[in-house]
Structure 1
Amino acid sequence: MEDSWRSDIALLIHGAFEEMYRECRHTDVDVIVDDRTFRCHRTLLAAVSPYFDAMFSSGMKESIDGVVTLHGVSKVNFESIVKFIYSGSKVVTKSNAEELLKASALFQIKQLHAKCEQFLLENVNNENCIGAWKLAKSHECPKLSEKAWGIIMYNFQDICRSEDFQCLDKDDLIEIITHEDLHISSEELVCDSVFRWFGADPEGRKQDTIHLFEYLRLPLLGSEYLLHEVEPLDIVNENSRCREIVKEAIQYQMLPSRRWDLNSPRVAFRKYASVEDVLIVIGGYNAVGEKVVDMLAYSFLQAKWFFLTPIPIQLGREFASIVYGNDIFVSGGSQKLDCLLRYRAENNDWYRCTSPVQGRRRHVMVAVCESIFVLGGYDDTIKDESKRTLSSVEEYLINARTWRKAGDMVHAVRSMSAAVSKEKIYIYGGILSDDKDSDHIQCFDTRLSTSSVVSFLPSPCKLTKTVVCDKHIYIVCTDGSILEMSDQGDAKCVHTMKYFNRRRFGALHRKGGLLLVGGESGNAISQKIVFLNPDKNWTEYTYSTTMPARANFGSLIIILQKKYLTRTFKSD
């Protein structure tokens, strides 16, 4: 009942003010806009507009002499504002909505501002979404901004060809092309849009376009487009930073054996891309000691584990695994010493490769150029126990699908780790033939097929894991210490993790840091996934999602089509 009373008196007051405005009764302020004067009531203007309230309360000249001159609004639009204030009439149209929104923001008339935003919200489309988005950003219209942004993201392929897109400033363009929600079928579309934008004003936009190269995801382009459409551009040839970025992309494309060592913000897949990078866990043993042939994928995007095609045979423990390009190779293992398998990510399936001459486990495997090398390890089938620890190095030529003896290491060793730098394989520690732990850093030169001991670790160690990030080589030890190998070949401790004490864990490079996966801690299996960031004083971040209970597993990161992420894994 009380609300109806308030409504009745409000209508009475509003109607009275409208009548008094028409008859110029009790008006006490002249508002001059262009060459027109509006005779208004201070009280009403101040009631609906904090802008006028502040003006009339400030003691300023306008509050004393009763004359206000306004700028930044046309007389036609101010007439609409006055009409809205005095009569509550529907004054917003297609032709004035944007200008009335700006004026209502200036005068802080939030009721009219809301009406303008709602009108624009109902009429935003592909043709005007960029203008609406920019307007909404500068005039506090969150709903309009959200809707216009969604249209830009979803219909980018069409919108990027519009005239409004060509008129974007650099910062707005960066905001659009860097967003993870951009719906595109390929990164070529983004490059095309930036190059068209540059072409609209080559001289005026040259420096901005050089800056934009930092945000183009060139490594994810097709090699034909990269070599024929990007590399020949004058702006690339003329600017050293652009050349560096293009070189990085070409290296990513042409060096599949080193692809996962690269740390670049330009290697990132958008939310709606058909692929994503996933953490792979292969085989091993589960919590109750059963051998498993599972292949599991962890989606960083969805924070879930999924089943992929399982390994076709039992590998047992102590096999080796690597990624070459986007395929996984697995060799050896306690159940099948002379085995080499290849997982093709493009069709989510496994294939049997030619078997190596020397079967082994507890070995290391690395990719160099277009070959895979297996080094050292242990062969249970050799009768002479003193010779079971191996020094041999075998090379698998991926394209020819054949093996050859590549050479020998200086010291036979097993349970070590390895990394590649400039076509040289570095082997860290391990267990020697006499069952003593090694502190050697051995080097096998794949070009010369020669071996040497280049330096020594701070102390003997085994079961280490090695991670390469750009030109940095980190060796993660079972006690939680992390060593870094210098350009001179020696290694020193750069960080120690507290309470680590794990064996047979996974260690991988991801986004400039070290991803440590699971491992054995005493008789227990750790299910932790930890990310370490060297650039931030080795800050540790523990994932809220745990990994499956696995021991003696292979762990890698690959790019996988999302269509294969359908069978969700549930804890054992």
Structure 2
Amino acid sequence: MSMFANLEQGYPSGSAPNEYPCHWKLGYYTSFCKGLYEQLKADQFTDTQVTVGNKTFHCHKVVLSSMSPFFEAMYLSGMIEAQSGNVTLQDIGTETFELILSFVYCGQDIVTADNVDSILKAATMLQIHCLRERCEEFIGDHIDVDNCIAAWKLASSHGCGQLSKKAFAYIIHNFADVWSTEEFQELDSDEIVEIIKSNDLITPDEETVCEAVLKWLKYDAESRQKHVAKLFEHLRLPLMQPEYLVERLDAEELVSNSHECKEYIEEAKKYHLLQSRRQEFVSARLAHRNHGEYTEVIIFIGGNLHPERTSTDIWCYSLHKRKWTHLNQTPYELGVEFAICPHGNAIFVSGGSEYTNSMIYYLTTQNSWYICSKMLIGRRRHCMVSHGDFLYVLGGFDDDEDEERFSTLLSVERFGVTSGTWEDFGYLTLPVRSASASVIQGKIYVFGGIDGDGVCLDTIQCFDTRSRECTLLNKSLPMAGMISSVVVNQITYLVFPNGKVMKMTPNEEIEDAGTIRNFDRCGFGIVQHAGKLIVMGGIDSVEIHDEFIQFDIEQHEGTSMDHQLVRPMFGFGCVKATLAKTILK
């Protein structure tokens, strides 16, 4: 028996017989590689010849094939060249192959700033994955403003996914410096699109992105004119200042010669001009970038947590971040059955059970509430819409009216957003409360509701803001009573308590739009988001809900979303809004 038999077989305590300490492994690898490299230099036991350019290298099949699946497949293929041991490589330089042999035989770090391009190309061709990874690592550690585009293109051309992602991330995070480089000007149109459409792009403002595109186009205007519309499709024009649209882009000859570009600019102008319609605006060019100052949220005001208990909380929710934020509360408790309506950067709230003739507004740019002058008639269960520079309140229930049958209102009042004053503006055809309303081309449509005798209505009233006249459409809704409405691209979508969805086109045609299955509730909230309807919360005969349901107006069906209200709720007001991210912190 060996004199060391009792020393745990010569291995450190706790290690298995085949587990050597790291320094022994390193010594083994060093000796093994040194021996192989000495045999290569001495041309000992070599069994294959690799010709690169005008030089022939005598190598070992087993070594090359162990590191390179390219050589392994060649030697196993039965090709005449492989059987004879004579292999010729194209598209690799002699010096490059010499360096690769140094890496393959003894693991030398052969990558430098001068040769990394050629080494990466050769490593990709020969499928030497560990050498390719070393090249990717080297390039990734040395990315800067001047070479990030070259690194991105090199990585993309050789299928280096991780390096491509790293280089692209550097480009979009340092866009403010990168876009003025010569390398940026030499990108192709598809590469420019990939950069400017990224939601992760960090830019001082959207005008900077537009200037980058214009500079790229003018770099070779004659050949790049054909790409103008393709690029402008991805510019977020509605998020640019209106002065820039009018003073800069309207005067740009490259843009004025493109019909598509002019349409995109007109779309952006409408967004700025029609403040009352912003909630209905649907465009891929309206999306706020992830690192921008602003983000789109849904704001929730008041509501019921219980059939007899209301909430005084104001919350906002980011669908993108899945984050709830508590906002500044209203100046006083709203109670229930108030109306809510957005206009530009403000959200107006009128009436309600606590102060029936009140009007307040929340300024999204300041996270602050302000009190307006009072309505002429106190009301709740009314509807309120925005058109032009005015807000309109229609119908509702007047608690101060002694005779019950007259407490349901016909009156229409108008509030001047700029003037801050109210005026008696007209009358509905039928007194109504608990209805919903939408505005299309200056006409306010009032859907369903309940009349003064407590009868549920299936009517559609049309109040013309120009003539101040109201008429009944010669159409009936499929279900009477309380209906929720939302506008998408001038089409009004109506969601009924049983999940039925109808739509009314601008020419007043009523059409079936689909069904939300297993839906039976009232008091839910509804907004449009990215051209789809988002239905939230509500109450049925058994429970109060907290779920989000998305109704796809193209597919005509509703699906449950992986989002929830901050708590089960009904009877709340909700609108989409754009908030500064500092408020959400």
AA at the equivalent of 1:518: G
Aligned: 1:462 with 2:484: no
Aligned-partner SS, 1:276: strand
What is the aligned partner in structure 1 of residue 341 from structure 2? 322
| Residue in structure 2 matching 1:93, options 112, 122, 129 | 112
Q: Would you say the 8 A contact 2:513–2:556 is kept in 1?
A: no
Aligned: 1:52 with 2:61: no
447 and 289 in structure 1: CA distance in 2 versus 1, 3 angstrom threshold:
same
What is the aligned partner in structure 1 of residue 286 from structure 2? 267
AA at the equivalent of 2:138: F
Aligned-partner SS, 1:94: coil
Aligned: 1:533 with 2:552: yes
| Residue in structure 1 matching 2:99, options 64, 80, 83 | 80
Aligned: 1:363 with 2:377: no
What is the aligned partner in structure 2 of residue 542 from structure 1? 561
The residue correspondences of 1:490-569 to structure 2 (distance < 5 A) are 490-522=509-541, 524-566=543-585
AA at the equivalent of 1:155: N
Aligned: 1:213 with 2:228: no
> Counterparts of 2:507 and 2:368 in 1: how far apart (Å)?
42
Aligned-partner SS, 1:443: strand
Shift of 1:495: 1.6
Percent sequence identity is: 36
| Residue in structure 1 matching 2:323, options 292, 297, 304 | 304
499 and 21 in structure 1: CA distance in 2 versus 1, 3 angstrom threshold:
closer
What is the aligned partner in structure 2 of residue 236 from structure 1? 255
> Counterparts of 2:46 and 2:461 in 1: how far apart (Å)?
94
539 and 173 in structure 1: CA distance in 2 versus 1, 3 angstrom threshold:
farther
What is the aligned partner in structure 1 of residue 181 from structure 2? 162
460 and 117 in structure 1: CA distance in 2 versus 1, 3 angstrom threshold:
closer
What is the aligned partner in structure 2 of residue 114 from structure 1? 133
What is the aligned partner in structure 2 of residue 570 from structure 1? none
Aligned: 1:193 with 2:193: no
Q: Would you say the 8 A contact 1:319–1:333 is kept in 2?
A: yes
| Residue in structure 2 matching 1:483, options 480, 494, 502 | 502
Q: Would you say the 8 A contact 2:339–2:351 is kept in 1?
A: yes
Note the alpha carbon deviations across 1:518-561, whole angstroms, 9 max, x for none.
11212632212211111233241323333323332211111111
What is the aligned partner in structure 1 of residue 444 from structure 2? 425
Aligned-partner SS, 1:558: strand
Aligned-partner SS, 1:563: helix
AA at the equivalent of 1:236: V
Q: Which moved more, 1:360-369 or 1:152-161?
A: 152-161
Note the alpha carbon deviations across 1:93-139, whole angstroms, 9 max, x for none.
11001210111011011232222222222222222122222222333
37 and 535 in structure 1: CA distance in 2 versus 1, 3 angstrom threshold:
same
AA at the equivalent of 1:303: R
TM-score by length of 2: 0.92
What is the aligned partner in structure 2 of residue 38 from structure 1? 57
What is the aligned partner in structure 1 of residue 431 from structure 2? 412
Q: Would you say the 8 A contact 1:473–1:485 is kept in 2?
A: yes
Note the alpha carbon deviations across 1:125-165, whole angstroms, 9 max, x for none.
22212222222233343443343233223211111212222
What is the aligned partner in structure 2 of residue 569 from structure 1? none
Shift of 1:3: 5.6
Aligned-partner SS, 1:37: strand
Aligned-partner SS, 1:149: helix
What is the aligned partner in structure 1 of residue 86 from structure 2? 67
Q: Would you say the 8 A contact 1:366–1:418 is kept in 2?
A: yes
**Structure 1: tracts of 5 or more residues without a match:** 567-572
Aligned-partner SS, 1:99: helix
* Pairs aligned (count): 566
> Counterparts of 2:560 and 2:254 in 1: how far apart (Å)?
40
What is the aligned partner in structure 2 of residue 183 from structure 1? 202
541 and 197 in structure 1: CA distance in 2 versus 1, 3 angstrom threshold:
farther
Q: Would you say the 8 A contact 2:146–2:181 is kept in 1?
A: yes
> Counterparts of 2:231 and 2:554 in 1: how far apart (Å)?
24
Q: Which moved more, 1:264-273 or 1:135-144?
A: 135-144
Note the alpha carbon deviations across 1:371-415, whole angstroms, 9 max, x for none.
111111111212232221111111111111111222111112111
> Counterparts of 2:55 and 2:395 in 1: how far apart (Å)?
93
Q: Which moved more, 1:375-384 or 1:199-208?
A: 199-208
Aligned: 1:251 with 2:270: yes
AA at the equivalent of 1:150: A
Q: Would you say the 8 A contact 1:519–1:526 is kept in 2?
A: yes
> Counterparts of 2:419 and 2:542 in 1: how far apart (Å)?
43
TM-score by length of 1: 0.94
Q: Please, what is the CA RMSD of the aligned residues?
A: 2.1
